[in-house]
Structure 1
Amino acid sequence: MIGHYPCVVVADGLFPTKEIVWDKLRRASVVIACDGAVEKLVDGGIIPTAIVGDMDSIPSALREKYADRLFPDHDQETNDLTKAMQYARRTGQKEVLILGATGLREDHTLGNISLLMDYLPLFDRVEMASDFGLFTPINQTTWFACRPGQQVSFFSLRPGGEVTTHKLRYPLVRKDLTAWWQGTLNETLEEEFGLELSPESRMILFREY
């Protein structure tokens, strides 16, 4: 389900353990770490290409060891994930997979997932993976490959936008999702499904592996 990504950004949330996620991390040619994730990466045998953040969460020994790849950013108006994504954009990355951005504190999880919509116009392709599934931001009608019976949920980030579903067990027709639960816990029926969006719609789709 997760395509190959040449660039992976790793945040300091729940570190991935599933092989499907680790495979993408190992195969990435560029690994950008938020400073708080460096120790976990190194313990897992991954040396980051770049380390971005305010540098308040990286152990001093690692800060010295990897001084040649530190890119401090002390902007207090953005979090470390956004700093890492901005660095990816500045260095010409076009396709970025985000790991370690969910789990642990729920407020961080919700904030990070919502930021996917801000990152969408910056890259040709951007998604966020956890041990449980994949988050994809969409702002136009999109079809997805799937397996029958796969669990999917979607969340509206802009009230007033409408969604019509295709080939899902619980259909919606021109539905304006006014609460997060309204698009959750749906199920695919065939080997593809679609979300037809009005121009105003901004959705975050979650698909289980």
Structure 2
Amino acid sequence: MSDVIIDRDGPVLLVGGGPVDPERLKRDAARSSAIVGADGGAVACLSAGLMPDAVIGDMDSLPEAIRARIPAKRVHEIAEQDSTDFDKCLRSIRAPLVLGHGFLGARFDHALAAMTVLARRSFQRCMLIGPEDAVALLPPRISLDLPPGTRVSLYPLGPVGGRSGGLRWPVDGLAFSPADTVGTSNEATGPVTLDVDAPRMLVIVPVAEAGRLETGLNDAKSWPRDGRDR
């Protein structure tokens, strides 16, 4: 099932209920083609002076006082409980890039669930921005113009192999898996290239380098759809 609610040619800002940097949120809102609140993420939107174009979710964490301030036609309740609000939102957005704020830095189980959604919807470019980090699922190949010394962490969500250039510790030939080999706390020696053979690898960089990660995602070829668009 694919019921698109927001269809844009430019980046879309998606706001969850976790901690956000209000100034960064407003900067990303200014260059986004639409603003979407994931259920209670609408609170952060209004607190930053941003009116969401849509609020999507099961509405179990949207206070009535906040809901009353949003035009009813912009509130899209999806009542099923088989998916998270992040999943409901991401599958309801068609855009070249989704910038997700408020999905990192609060409840760890929520963050883990968001990582699963990134893998499930690997064909959809999405970067999550938190207080310390920016996170994305790696496309098949990406180039990142990172300064030497930048922390670059790779975390597998399943078995995956890859190749790298510009990392202090190359990953060529390694068999990554969550219970065996991971690639956290690596370091850039200059511009980085990463190739992976499956849509199962997260890349994590300092939030100060979110713009460079965004550029790399925009320039990269996405994973093809594989029937998991649901």
If the length of structure 2 is used for normalisation, what is the TM-score? 0.78
Whether the aligned pair in 1 keeps the contact of 2:17 and 2:43 (CA below 8 Å) is: no
Whether 1:71 aligns to 2:76 is yes
Corresponding position of 1:24: 28
Corresponding position of 1:168: 167
Mapped partners of 1:187, 1:177: distance in 2: 17
Instruction: Return 5+ residue gaps in structure 1 as ranges.
Output: none
Tell me the secondary structure at the aligned position of residue 51 of structure 2.
coil
Whether 1:9 aligns to 2:14 is yes
- 1:184-203 pair list within 5 angstroms: 184-190=184-190, 192-198=191-197, 200=198, 202-203=200-201
Aligned length: 196
- 1:54-203 pair list within 5 angstroms: 54-66=58-70, 67-89=72-94, 93-121=95-123, 123=124, 125-159=125-159, 161-179=160-178, 182-190=182-190, 192-198=191-197, 200=198, 202-203=200-201
Whether the aligned pair in 2 keeps the contact of 1:8 and 1:31 (CA below 8 Å) is: yes
Instruction: Return 5+ residue gaps in structure 2 as ranges.
Output: 1-9, 209-230
Letter in 2 for 1:114: T
> Normalized per residue, which structure has more helix?
1
RMSD: 1.9
Whether the aligned pair in 1 keeps the contact of 2:15 and 2:102 (CA below 8 Å) is: yes
Tell me the secondary structure at the aligned position of residue 116 of structure 2.
helix
Structure 1 position 25, deviation (Å): 2.6
Q: 1:25 to 1:132 in 2, by over 3 A?
A: farther
Tell me the secondary structure at the aligned position of residue 117 of structure 1.
helix
Structure 1 position 129, deviation (Å): 1.3
Tell me which stretches of 4 or more aligned residues in structure 1 moved more than 6 Å. none
Identical columns (%):
26
Mapped partners of 2:129, 2:165: distance in 1: 24
Whether the aligned pair in 2 keeps the contact of 1:163 and 1:201 (CA below 8 Å) is: no
- 1:36-55 pair list within 5 angstroms: 36-55=40-59
Structure 1 position 155, deviation (Å): 1.0
Whether the aligned pair in 2 keeps the contact of 1:8 and 1:28 (CA below 8 Å) is: yes
